[in-house]
Chains A and B, each alone.
Chain A
């Protein structure tokens, strides 16, 4: 009996000591092995610099499941201290929910701030004027096309100037090679990609290039929205875009990792990461000499202009309910370091948001990304607003109806508007 009591007391003591020893622990959420690997040196640096233990918790992929788990935990109050947000569209909604700690003061005082591209700084500012995220990486997106496939078929590789020219080029590819001409991610399974990697490219060059009016209301009834859906409809009706794979549970696998490397899909929207992760050295199905074989076009506007889309690539933020917000903010600034940016660029292929990265010898080795980094400041973007997460889901549903040939462009726009109104209320939509 005596032994049991003493044993019990020892266990309690040990547990208390162990709790105290881990008092300075911060938990960070990351997903995918590439992301975890990219953060490894940063984690070690944070631990050494601040004398804390960093616990990396692996979250599920794809992004949609990651966001669901993160929001559920934030809602329940047991989320990690630091986390990345898989889609920029979710940031404003998370700010409104009170999940993110403002970091404006620390961000502006941080020594890396001055050297960030302006587009990164602008993208980081939320509708309330505060900054809540570290915009350390940019997703710079364009249209990637198979130069070799087009040249072999005698098709021009010149930059298309308008939507019509882009559609004509896709039709010519189909006619002369039998390959699909152009892919815009679409449908529900692709999650936020249907918005981030598809719809956004076209809306910024449409007649109504923004989705938010001055009062912060969502303007979804604009002519541009219908016109964008009409581009999808044309691609689908003329069989210029692969439809069946997009309706499956992992819609990116067949077109991005199989058809494009095989030349059965001639062009697709993509970001700089495609040169590394999708078809480059980190790919399971790489295209040899990828930068020579795969060229890029900017996305043409409806009747002219050229657009390179800039997004924040999974920006990091601090949990407002973290037990140690100040420490988490310090760690956030470490995540913004050039070293971390270069590490991410090497493994995932996003573009460092700091101009200083150009001077980094390790970054200079990433020859695929250097020219894109140099041009990153020219990116255009959609103004963020509360409700964008819902708009992204509405776009996914609308494009899925188009993929299934259940509606036309006007019908797709109605699906989007109805979904957003049903979810957020009539007064949120102009």
Chain B
């Protein structure tokens, strides 16, 4: 009986400790999310008559959204952006960096610092920095570099907009990938590699048969984090291209911004945000299931 009362008291104390976090979560995550869902069923706007007298419009925003070619374009651009920068770029380069820096090499700390550097710059600052790199004309940094190899200067952000934002986001995300994957690599006991080496396994066989399978939970966790966070990338793309030219880099976060704060249609923007949230949730659930984690 005494033990029960002690447990209840501990439980209450724990709840009390968690209460501030719960309140913050409710105020800044749950309430805005629910409010967005509510907004998505209205014609709320930042300007015009709908700003003064918004009204309930049922599923009109969702019907419009599914018939809106620009929305589908933004989903497609987001898919390419996530695949290119998060899944292929950051993961592959992050894994290579993690494996390379695991070996005993000279100036290891120096190389680690270089890889971590991109994370030191805020998204928008990094974006502006890359604009100067990728600007058009013969005096721009990248144009001067390629001119050294006999390639004509180009206006890189306009000529290859999606590829460029993929490269920049990959550059920014390598450090996170490397840190997570290094942590994963460190959990694999070195004895396994030694045993495989004694059995005559080649480095490629060791990578395919040992490293990859044992790293799978870490890889899936990384994929979950990077895919969801890449869907939400805004500042970098906004600073670089604002979604242009011609919608070529209008990822879903930029599309939401454009609808809400350029066209000033908050209701419609909220509907897009709700759909993006559902897509992120489905993706998240998929990864969690793949990781075989109980939820």
Query: Which residue numbers of A lie inside 8 Å of B, CB to CB?
Result: 64, 68, 71-72, 74-75, 90, 93-94, 96-99, 187-189, 244-245, 247-249, 386-387, 389-390, 393, 400-401, 403-404, 406, 422-424
Contacts and interface: CB of A to CB of B under 8 A. Distances in A.
B136 interface: yes
A227 to B, nearest CB: 23
Given A71-B264, A248-B158, A249-B131, A97 B47 contact: yes
A248 B245 CA distance: 8
B56 to A, nearest CB: 15
Contacts of B264: 71, 389
A401 B241 CA distance: 16
Contact of B245 (A98, A389, A400): A400
Interface in B17-72: 45-49, 51-52, 64, 68
Nearest to A68: B261
Contact of A93 (B48, B131, B240): B48
Given A189-B242, A393-B262, A75 B51 contact: yes
A248 B49 contact: no
Contacts of B265: 423
B138 interface: no
A401 B261 contact: no
A98 B261 contact: no
14 contacts: A68-B262, A75-B51, A90-B47, A96-B51, A97-B45, A97-B47, A97-B52, A188-B242, A247-B245, A248-B135, A248-B158, A249-B242, A390-B263, A400-B245
A406 B155 contact: no
Contact of A404 (B240, B242, B246): B246
Nearest to A76: B46
A245 B261 CA distance: 24
Interface string B242-285: 10111000000000000001111100000000000000000000
A94 B264 CA distance: 11
| Interface majority SS (helix, strand, loop, mixed), chain A | helix
A285 to B, nearest CB: 16
A308 B265 CA distance: 34
Nearest to A90: B47
Interface of B: 45-49, 51-52, 64, 68, 131, 135-136, 155, 157-158, 240-242, 244-246, 261-265
B263 A75 contact: no
Contacts of A188: 242, 244-245
Contacts of A422: 64, 68
Nearest to B49: A96
A401 B246 contact: yes
Contacts of B244: 187-189, 247, 400
B245 A404 contact: yes
Instruction: Name which of B47, B49, B241, B265 has the most chain A CB atoms within 10 A of its CB.
Output: B47
B263 A423 contact: yes
Contacts of B158: 244, 247-248
A71 B58 CA distance: 25
A285 B242 CA distance: 27
Nearest to B257: A68
Given A189-B244, A247-B245, A249-B242, A97 B48 contact: yes
Contacts of A75: 46, 51
Contacts of B155: 244, 247-248
A64 B136 contact: no
Contacts of B46: 71-72, 74-75, 97
Given A71-B264, A245-B136, A386 B48 contact: yes
Nearest to B135: A248
Given A97-B48, A97-B52, 5 more contacts: A97-B46, A244-B158, A247-B245, A249-B157, A393-B263
Contacts of B262: 64, 68, 393
Contact of B47 (A244, A245, A389, A403): A389
A98 B131 contact: no
Nearest to B51: A97
A426 to B, nearest CB: 11
A247 to B, nearest CB: 4
A58 B34 CA distance: 33
Contacts of B240: 249
B48 A244 contact: no
A351 B118 CA distance: 47
